[in-house]
Copies of this chain bind each other. A is one copy, B any other.
Amino acid sequence: MAADGAYAGLGEFDLIERFFAPLATAPGSLALTDDAAVLKPSAGHEFVLTKDMLAADVHFFANDPADLVARKALRVNLSDLAAKGARPLGYLLGLGLGGEMAGSGAAQWLTGFAAGLAADQAEFAFPLLGGDTIRSGERMVLSITALGEVPEGRAVRRNGATAGDLVYVSGTIGDSALGLALRLEPELARKLGLSEPHTEFLLSRYLLPQPRVALASAVLSRSSASLDISDGLCADAGHVARHSGVDLVLEADTLPLSDAARAALAAQPDLITRVLTGGDDYELFVCVPPAQGQAFEADAATAGVPVTCIGRVKSSAADKPTVRLTRGGMPFTLAGQGGFRHF
């Protein structure tokens, strides 16, 4: 691991030894004493690598609690690994500290940040392997490279969906997008008449996603295609449709919604657009051959992850993969979209 410069009197070695070395619990991290991590997959397995960057006030709020910033950064990557059916192995951390970190609050912020990493490392068996810390100027930028492993040749792709497959999602959809809306417009909760518990629930779903690591094994065994919902249900369904060369028909009335989201939609029905397109769900979108549907549901139940069938895969007419929304079986147009969404 490397670090450059000093932060509020914290030199490079303080930074690494005080905050990060305690997190480097895997042998492959070389205890952060080198500029590299060294490791190999288990016999018969291969690595799945994924990388996400997050910038302050773009992907999280600069004034979010430091421990939650850390945990969200790990979780969005854990979600990517789970969608590929991969078991998490560890991560490399790129930490660009913004200008405000030059102040005396740096040590306190880093203490919280490291505590957040430690909490989720423990929860998901996902140790720090290495990384780099720099000064990034005006704002903080995080970059996580996550490593997982799958049996060779078994990583679940976006491109395997076949006509007839069932489409499942985990958890509930739209909470995070509604949470972000509440965060951006403090008056919105009152306008919608949301209770305090519902408001808190939606805000927390934005702040701290729940990566479906427990579902990875069912995804690996039972699915034909999978991804995590980060761009929004419609956009991510579009990724599967395009890469698999299929149509997807999703029935809006079957969409799993939290009580809080239902309350918001009852007050303002056009929020359905936000639910379907808002993103940051970090739930899994999984296509399952019909013969595997029951087994997938049973595996998910064993894993303790709720899953809901929300549609079907159809063959694509005229080589133009499309996501079609229905409501009670009838075509359903999102407000402001002027038609079905094509991707």
Indicate whether A53 reaches chain B with its CB closer than 8 angstroms. yes
Number of interface residues of A (CB under 8 A): 63
Question: What's the Cα separation between A120 and B30 when bound, in Å?
Answer: 29
Name the residue on B nearest A235 (C-beta): B12
Say which residue of B41, B54, B147 sits within 8 Å of A134 (CB atoms): B54
Question: What's the Cα separation between A147 and B145 when bound, in Å?
Answer: 11
Say which residue of B45, B49, B138, B230 sits within 8 Å of A130 (CB atoms): B49
Say which residue of B39, B83, B96, B129 sits within 8 Å of A46 (CB atoms): B39
A26 to chain B, nearest CB (A): 12
Residues of the B chain whose Cβ atoms lie less than 8 Å from the Cβ of A137:
55-58, 138-139
A196 to chain B, nearest CB (A): 32
Chain A 1-24 against B: per-residue CB contact (8 Å), 1 yes, 0 no?
010100000000000000000000
Say which residue of B51, B54, B83 sits within 8 Å of A145 (CB atoms): B51
Q: Is chain A's interface secondary structure helix, strand, loop, or mixed overall?
A: strand
Say which residue of B33, B38, B39, B45 sits within 8 Å of A158 (CB atoms): B33
B94 to A53, Cβ gap below 8 A?
A: yes
Q: A50 with B38: in contact, given A58-B136, A138-B139, A141-B136 (CB under 8 Å)?
A: no
Indicate whether A227 reaches chain B with its CB closer than 8 angstroms. yes
Binding site for B on A (CB under 8 A): 2, 4, 30, 33-41, 45-59, 80-81, 83-84, 86, 92-96, 129-139, 141, 143, 145, 147, 150, 152, 155, 157-159, 227-228, 230-231, 243
